[in-house]
């Protein structure tokens, strides 16, 4: 029915055009932001879950930083203790050579051992990373390894190294597994040729130190392995969470692009429909002129 007072066709066309415009605005927003759920109004449940997961991922990023710092400290200490072990091995070789050697040769050997002892002190002192020296400080090292959340309950796991168990040599050179090798001369050849028993005693001291150093290196190696594994796991976990968030809130760009093209066509048709409806109304009015 045609009416002079109400243009129903034009009203319908305008409503359709408004709906198309709203849908276009939504689609354009998704294309520009890349998000299907950008705020709570889009999908409250998905937005809430994604927000919590994003927060957890930020915490995991901090865990990765802590693990990276911890890995640097342990790697440095591990490198240092292996160098100490190599140096003590060289001292051991020198002592074997000193057994039964002439006084002159023993004096030279003692001088070489003194140099190696100084090297051990230097290696331990320089095994420093970010202000921390695990094999010298005699302080426990706690490395944040994971962030766990169940509901609102949160827990943090750590990789812990007990300082006293990995102390190689303290700043005074009097404590630690290498102290007996470094603190004093293993034998003294300055007053005459050294008896074989003195060299044997020194060799016993070295062997004891080597056994303890091996245990400490194993402790550091185990911690190094655990930190490396945890770094790899946390990285994969972070990626998995990011993918999960994406599945909840990311827009399908191919789908949205196709929808935008369709809406643009619908908009053009809607404008034409409104124009036709208005034109028909004008034609009716022209009959009364």
pLDDT digits (tens, 9 = 90+) for 57-105: 999 999 999 999 999 999 999 999 999 999 999 999 999 999 989 999 9
Contact predicate 134/74, CB 8 Å: yes
Q: Which of 7-11, 31-35, 82-86, 128-132 has the highest mean pLDDT?
A: 82-86
Distances in Å between the alpha carbon of 4 and those of 7, 278, 279, 288, 289?
Answer: 7, 12, 13, 11, 14
User: Is the separation of the CB atoms in 57 and 240 below 8 Å?
Assistant: no
Backbone dihedral region for residue 138 (phi beyond 0: left; psi -120 to 50: alpha; all else: beta): left
Residue 123's pLDDT is what?
97
* Residue 181: C-alpha distances to residues 5, 18, 91, 110, 121 (Å): 109, 87, 9, 13, 10
**What span, in angstroms and rounded, lies between the C-alpha atoms of 99 and 110?**
12
| pLDDT tens column, 162-199 | 999 999 999 998 999 999 999 878 888 887 888 889 99
Three-state secondary-structure class, residue 89: helix
pTM for the predicted model, two decimal places: 0.78
pLDDT over 90, % of the chain: 61
Element (H, E) at 30: helix 8-33
Burial class, 172, CB count within 10 angstroms (exposed 0-12 / middle 13-18 / buried 19+):
exposed
Average pLDDT in the chain: 88
Q: What is the mean pLDDT of residues 27-49?
A: 86
Of 110, 115, 87, the C-alpha closest to 210 is: 87
pLDDT of residue 265: 82
């Amino acid at each position: 029915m045609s009416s002079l007072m109400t243009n129903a066709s034009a009203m319908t066309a305008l409503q359709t055009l408004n709906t198309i415009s709203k849908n276009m605005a939504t689609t354009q927003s998704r294309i520009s932001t890349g998000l299907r759920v950008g705020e709570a109004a889009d999908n409250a449940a998905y937005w809430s879950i994604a927000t919590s997961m994003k927060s957890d991922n930020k915490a995991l990023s901090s865990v990765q930083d802590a693990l990276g710092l911890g890995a640097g400290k342990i790697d440095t200490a591990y490198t240092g203790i292996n160098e100490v072990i190599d140096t003590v091995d060289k001292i051991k070789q020198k002592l074997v050579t000193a057994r039964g050697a002439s006084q002159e040769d023993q004096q030279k050997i003692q001088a070489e051992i003194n140099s190696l002892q100084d090297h051990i002190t230097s290696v331990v002192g320089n095994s420093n990373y970010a202000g921390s020296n695990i094999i010298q400080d005699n302080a426990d090292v706690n490395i944040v390894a994971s962030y766990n959340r169940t509901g609102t309950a949160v827990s943090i796991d750590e990789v812990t190294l007990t300082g006293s168990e990995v102390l190689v040599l303290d700043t005074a050179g009097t404590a630690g597994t290498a102290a007996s090798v470094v603190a004093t001369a293993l034998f003294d050849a300055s007053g005459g040729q050294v008896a074989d028993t003195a060299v044997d005693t020194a060799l016993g001291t070295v062997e004891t130190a080597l056994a303890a150093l091996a245990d400490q290196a194993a402790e550091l190696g185990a911690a190094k392995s655990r930190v490396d594994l945890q770094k790899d796991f946390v990285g994969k976990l972070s990626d998995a969470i990011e993918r999960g968030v994406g599945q909840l809130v990311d827009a399908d760009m191919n789908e949205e692009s196709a929808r935008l093209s369709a809406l643009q066509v619908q908009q053009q048709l809607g404008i034409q429909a409104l124009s036709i409806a208005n034109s028909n109304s004008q034609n009716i009015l022209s009959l009364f002129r």
